[in-house]
Amino acid sequence: MSNTWYLYLFFAAALVFAGLLGLLAKRNLIKLLIAIEIVGKGVSLLLLSTGLAKAHILTAQALVVTYIVIEVSLVATALALIINIRRQTGGLDIRSLTRLKG
């Protein structure tokens, strides 16, 4: 199995990189969160494929499940923040969030 490990890693890296590019380029707060989700997908793919390569798929599965639960918590918190920000600033542009600097 381990000879296909690199294949999964190739796609995992692609996902992470796509997410990072999105984080750097996009300005809509929700878009940024979607980009974070993409990064997360890449990482969970990496985690599971590593377990597969080591013939530890059950453990890796447990890790991925925990990872997903954490992700949900994060996304819920982030979305709550975004809604609050929308209420306060009237927009969703990350560029308007530059009051704190220096």
Partner 1 sequence: MTPKMLLLPVLLPAVLAVALLLLPRALRLVRDALAVAGAGVLLYYGFLFFSVKDLRYAVPWLGMGIDFDLRLYHFSSFILLALAGFLFLIAVYATVKMKDAPRGREFMAYVFLTAAFANGAALANNFVPLVFFWEGLLVTLYGMIAIGGRPTSGRTAVKALLIAGFCDFSLILGVGLLWSVAGTATMSEIAVEPTGLAAAAFVLMMIGAAGKAGAMPFHTWIPDAAVDAPVTFMAFLPAAFEKLLGIYLLARVSLDFFKLRPGGAMSVLLMIVGAATIVLAVLMALVQKDLKRLLSYHAVSQVGYMILGIGTAVPVGIAGGVFHMINHAMYKSGLFLSAGSVEHRAGTTELKKLGGLRRDMPLTALGFVVCALAISGVWPLNGFVSKEMVFHGALETGYTVFAVAAWIGAIFTFASFLKAGHSVFFGERTTDVPEVKESPAAIVLPILVLAALCVLFGVYNKLPLDRLITPVVAPHAEAGAHLDFTGHALDLFNVVALISVGCLVLAFLIHRHGFLKGGRKAYLASEPFHGLPGIRQAYDLAEKRVFDPYEQGVKALQGLSLALYKAVDRPIDFVFEKAVTAAGEKFTGILKKAHNGHYANYLAWCLAGLVILAGAIGLLAK
Partner 2 sequence: MILQTALLAVLVALSVLAIALKDLLRSAIALALASLVLGIVFFRMGAPYAGVFEISVVAGLITVLFILTIALTKSGDEVRESKLANIVFPVVFVAFLAIDALVMKRLMGKVPALARGGEAGTFGEVLWKGRTLDLVGQIAVILAGVFAVLALFRQRDKHE
Partner 3 sequence: MIILFVVLPLVVAGLLPLAGKASKRLLPDLLANATLLFLVAYAAVAGRALIADGPVLQQTTWLGEALGIRLVLDGFSLFMLVVVALVGLAASLFSIDYMEHYGAKGNFYALYLVMIAGMNGLVLASDLFAVYVFLEVAAVASYALVAYGLGRDELEAAFKYLMLSVVASAFLVGGIAVVYGMTGGLDFAAVAMALKELNAGPALAVASALFLLGFGLKAALIPFHAWLPDAHPSAPAPISAVLSGLLIKVSGVYALTRVFLNVFGLTPALSTVLLWLGAVSAVAAAFLALGQKDIKRMLAYSSISQVGYVVLAIGVGTPLGIAGGLFHLFNHALAKGLLFLTSGSVQRATGTRDLDAMGGLAKRMPVTAATNLVGALSIAGVPPLNGFWSKLIIIVALVQAGHPVFAAVAVLASVLTLWYYLLMQRKAFFGRLNETWAAVREAPFWMTASTVLLALLCVGIGILFASTVTTWVRPAADVLADGIHAVAGSWGF
Interface residues toward partner 1, by CB under 8 A: 20, 23-25, 32, 94-95, 97-102
Q: Does 43 bind partner 2 (CB under 8 A)?
A: no
Contacting partner 3 (CB under 8 A), which of 21, 77, 91, 95?
77
In the region spanning residues 56 to 75, those forming contacts with partner 3, defined by CB under 8 A, are 56, 59, 63, 66-67, 70, 73-74
Q: Label residue 42 exposed, middle or buried (CB < 10 Å: 0-12, 13-18, 19+).
A: buried
Q: Angle between the 57-89 and 29-53 helix axes, to the nearest 10 degrees?
A: 170
Place of tokens 């999964």: 8
